[in-house]
Amino acid sequence: MDVPAGVLGRLRGICLGLPEAYEEVAWVGVRWRVRTRTFAHVLTVEGGRPAAFARAAGTEGPCTILTFRSEGPELDVLRRSGPPFFGPPWGPDVVGMVLGPNIDWSEVAELITESFCARAPMTLARQVERPPG
């Protein structure tokens, strides 16, 4: 149930470019944190496992799933928009995304950056260049 190397490499490039972000092996998959707060987590669902992620995404797999944090109006839109997004039940600000073959990596980078800014201390979030609006 390893995350595909190409996906992991793309995510690693995005996440580790953020101030004080670091990577660690999670209970399943890989997660990126700032201080002690997770802002992105990637894993593979296969054969309905891990069960919580398979149920939340509505798939037995195989597929790769990214979870991140969101806030404000974007949170509600993402959680209700349908595939590739879904709203996991384990956190009110968590959004899941199935990373399919036609994924828009610019969108993924923007969502991860916003997640980082939502989880990071203000001093670090202010260091991140974000698009206007």
pLDDT for the residue 131: 60
What are 24-29's contacts with CB under 8 Å, separation 24+?
Answer: 28/1, 28/53, 29/3
Provide the 3-class DSSP secondary structure of residue 8.
Answer: helix
Q: Is the pLDDT of residue 130 over 80?
A: no
- Count of beta carbons in the 10 Å neighbourhood of residue 91: 10
Predicted TM-score (pTM) of the model is 0.93
pLDDT for the residue 67: 97
Q: Quick one: 23 exposed, middle or buried, by C-beta within 10 A (0-12, 13-18, 19+)?
A: middle
